[in-house]
Amino acid sequence: MASDASAPNTKLYYRIGEVSRLTGVKPYVLRYWESEFRWMSPQKSRSKQRLYRQKDIDTIVLIKRLLYKEGYTIKGARQRLKELGVGKALENGARPIDLRDEYRRIRDELTAIRGML
């Protein structure tokens, strides 16, 4: 079952594996981003596991969009987020995209390619 990062939820905290599945970002990339984006530092449990909140997930999806879709470098994305302010960037229409629509588009393209073969 595919989840998306903007779906309503009842959980307060997510572990790194869950966040990875929700956002499509590998856990090692999330850990790297923590070192590059200072404000992206999830709480840690007593057993030192990262505990992400929904706002952390929204920030991750925004960083992913800046880096992968809009072509920013890490430095450029950091600067852009600083200019907007992380919270402000999320409020001003930069909400995470609905991944289901993206998956449907990719599926339709693949179906069309298969039809050409």
Query: Using one digit for the tens of pLDDT, what is the confidence trace for 60-112?
Result: 998 999 999 999 999 999 888 888 776 555 555 444 445 566 778 888 899 99
pLDDT greater than 60 at residue 8: no
pLDDT greater than 50 at residue 58: yes
Residue 12 in tokens: 């307060």
- Per-residue pLDDT, 106: 86
- Per-residue pLDDT, 88: 56
Q: What residue ranges define each of the domains in the chain, with the CATH number in brackets? A: 16-116 (1.10.1660.10)
pLDDT greater than 60 at residue 40: yes
Mean pLDDT of 38-44: 80
Mean pLDDT of 1-17: 67
* Residues 34, 28: Cα–Cα separation, whole Å: 10
- Per-residue pLDDT, 89: 55
DSSP string, 27-43: HHHHHHHHHHSTT---E
pLDDT greater than 80 at residue 10: no
